[in-house]
């Protein structure tokens, strides 16, 4: 056996991750869908005070059930309930270190050997990795040509594969496509007691006005799980805090597989402090949406194909050699993401200045290649 004695199926695999370059190497970073606006000094001071208070008790283990944080998150999520729907309760909420950890815990509890996880490509590239890491079988259906979900094809796949989990981001990454609300109900009913539908709303706050969150459907479907994160719209990617809303029995089941004290006292305190500033932290969402629509229109004006986006990024293409385009943008200091179907690139929406730099750099690439 070659050293180290790694699991056979993991040999030679590269760890997941977008290239992480310094600001010197790439001054315009538009590759991981972060919110480009940092917190105000008032918010920083409040977070620092909360961290200091947590530090006074660091000799003790943190609250395993992170009750105060779940209360704060339940209040926050209750903004998205329908008229007449009960508010979200803390028992319906569960949090972990990023929604990636929430998702892994869901697969640890509900996936596993002999069980199947279904998603629809192109989609978030971490899903197959959670499946691999939990020894779950992964089946990828396909999205339609315009990246929407074909409900009949999705239903067919659910009926033949009988998955324990269906993972559907809305808006989808890397395409930006939002899910038609009817799809959620149809799939939840098809899954019944045997499977969970996980709607990954990492970009939920960017959805168009009038598009409901799947949070509204929680009272109708006990097998529906909605995941969220503080990493994107909430401008807290460095915080590592993700969460879900679901039937309390689902939250209870996750407690069996979570590591003891998985959320540090500092994470809990800092996340709660950030939640108190949610209006400020989400304050730039409208501007980012506007910038997104401008970017999409500009790209189309340059003759490119762009997927309709409800998120803070746009998938554009297609290029015979996308890596060359990616590299030429980077040569000019603009880092985008080489992800998604062959020929496409994804750009995150930054500040107006960053988007100007992106447009200028892409203009140069398109002009020099003489294409479009």
Ligand X SMILES: *Cc1c(COP(=O)(O)O)cnc(C)c1O
Q: What's the distance, Cα to Cα, between the start and end of the chain in Å?
A: 53
Q: Which two tokens stand for residue 235?
A: 């401008």
Which of 348/365 has CB closer to ligand X?
348
The answer to whether residue 242 forms part of the interface with ligand X (CB under 6 A) is: yes
Ramachandran area for residue 90 (φ above 0: left; ψ -120 to 50: alpha; else beta): alpha
Site pattern 101..130 for ligand X (x: CB under 6 A): -----------------------x------
Quick one: which segment of 8-16, 83-91, 97-105, 320-328 binds ligand X (CB under 6 A)? Answer: 97-105
> Residue 7: which residues within 8 A CB-CB, separation 6 or more?
none
Quick one: which segment of 15-23, 72-80, 92-100, 212-220 binds ligand X (CB under 6 A)? Answer: 92-100
The DSSP 8-state label assigned to residue 30 in this structure reads: -
Q: Which two tokens stand for residue 347?
A: 């750009």
The answer to whether residue 99 forms part of the interface with ligand X (CB under 6 A) is: yes
DSSP string, 262-308: -S-HHHHHHHHHHHHTHHHHTTTHHHHHHHHHHHHHHHHHTT-EE--
Smallest gap, in angstroms, from Cβ of residue 191 to ligand X? 20
Site pattern 326..365 for ligand X (x: CB under 6 A): ----------------------------------------
- By CB under 6 A, name the one of 62, 163, 169, 204 that touches ligand X: 169
- By CB under 6 A, name the one of 29, 31, 92, 100 that touches ligand X: 100
Which of 202/274 has CB closer to ligand X?
202
Ramachandran area for residue 45 (φ above 0: left; ψ -120 to 50: alpha; else beta): alpha
- By CB under 6 A, name the one of 92, 136, 170, 173 that touches ligand X: 173
Which of 85/264 has CB closer to ligand X?
264
d(CA 245, CA 74): 8
Site for ligand X in 24-43 (CB under 6 A): 33
Smallest gap, in angstroms, from Cβ of residue 33 to ligand X? 6
Smallest gap, in angstroms, from Cβ of residue 84 to ligand X? 30
The answer to whether residue 200 forms part of the interface with ligand X (CB under 6 A) is: yes
Site for ligand X in 210-239 (CB under 6 A): 229, 231-232
- The residue count for binding ligand X (CB under 6 A) is 13
Which of 129/200 has CB closer to ligand X?
200
158: phi then psi, degrees, rounded to nearest 5: -65, -40
Smallest gap, in angstroms, from Cβ of residue 237 to ligand X? 6
The answer to whether residue 171 forms part of the interface with ligand X (CB under 6 A) is: no
Ramachandran area for residue 114 (φ above 0: left; ψ -120 to 50: alpha; else beta): left
DSSP string, 132-165: HHTT-EEEEEE--TTS---HHHHHHHHHHH--SE
Smallest gap, in angstroms, from Cβ of residue 169 to ligand X? 4
Neighbours of 18 (CB within 10 A): 15
Smallest gap, in angstroms, from Cβ of residue 253 to ligand X? 20
- Tokens 């030429």, located at residue: 328
- By CB under 6 A, name the one of 104, 202, 246, 251 that touches ligand X: 202
Q: How far is CA 239 from CA 229, 253, 336, in A?
A: 10, 25, 23
Q: Could you tell me which of 175, 82, 180, 160 has the C-alpha nearest to residue 116?
A: 160
The answer to whether residue 309 forms part of the interface with ligand X (CB under 6 A) is: no
- By CB under 6 A, name the one of 36, 72, 90, 98 that touches ligand X: 98
Q: Which residue is nearest to ligand X (CB)?
A: 98
For 212, what's the count of Cα atoms within 13 Å in the CB-facing half-sphere? 14
- What residue ranges bind ligand X (CB under 6 A)? 33, 98-100, 124, 169, 173, 200, 202, 229, 231-232, 242
């Amino acid at each position: 056996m070659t050293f180290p004695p790694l699991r056979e199926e993991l040999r030679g695999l590269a760890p997941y991750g977008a290239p992480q370059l310094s600001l010197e190497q790439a001054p315009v970073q538009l590759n991981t869908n972060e919110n480009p606006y940092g917190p105000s000094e008032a918010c920083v001071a409040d977070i620092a005070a909360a961290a200091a208070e947590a530090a006074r008790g660091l000799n003790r283990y943190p609250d395993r059930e992170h009750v105060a944080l779940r209360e704060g998150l339940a209040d926050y999520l209750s903004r998205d309930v329908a008229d007449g729907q009960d508010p979200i309760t803390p028992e319906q909420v569960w949090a972990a270190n990023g929604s990636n950890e929430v998702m892994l815990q869901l697969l640890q509890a509900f996936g596993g050997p002999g069980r199947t996880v279904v998603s629809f490509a192109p989609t978030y590239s971490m899903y197959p990795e959670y499946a691999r890491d939990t020894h779950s079988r992964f089946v990828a259906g396909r999205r339609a040509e315009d990246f929407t979900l074909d409900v009949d094809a999705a239903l067919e796949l659910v009926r033949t594969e009988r998955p324990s989990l269906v993972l559907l981001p809305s808006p989808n990454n890397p395409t930006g496509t939002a899910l038609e609300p009817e799809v959620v109900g149809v799939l939840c009913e098809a899954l019944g007691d045997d499977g969970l539908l996980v709607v990954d709303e990492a970009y939920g706050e960017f959805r168009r006005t009038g598009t409901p969150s799947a949070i509204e459907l929680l009272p109708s479907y006990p097998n529906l799980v909605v995941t969220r994160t503080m990493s994107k719209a909430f401008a807290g990617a460095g915080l590592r805090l993700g969460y879900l809303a679901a039937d309390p029995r689902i939250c209870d089941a996750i407690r069996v597989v979570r590591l003891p004290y998985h959320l540090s006292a500092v994470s809990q305190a800092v996340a709660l402090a950030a939640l108190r500033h949610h209006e400020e932290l989400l304050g730039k969402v409208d501007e980012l949406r506007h910038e997104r629509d401008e970017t999409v229109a500009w790209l189309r004006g340059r003759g490119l194909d762009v997927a309709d986006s409800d998120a803070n990024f746009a998938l554009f293409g297609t290029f015979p050699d996308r890596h060359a385009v990616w590299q030429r943008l980077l040569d000019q200091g603009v880092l985008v993401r080489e992800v998604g179907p062959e020929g496409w690139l994804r750009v995150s929406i930054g500040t107006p200045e960053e988007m100007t730099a992106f447009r200028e750099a892409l203009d140069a690439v398109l002009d020099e290649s003489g294409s479009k």
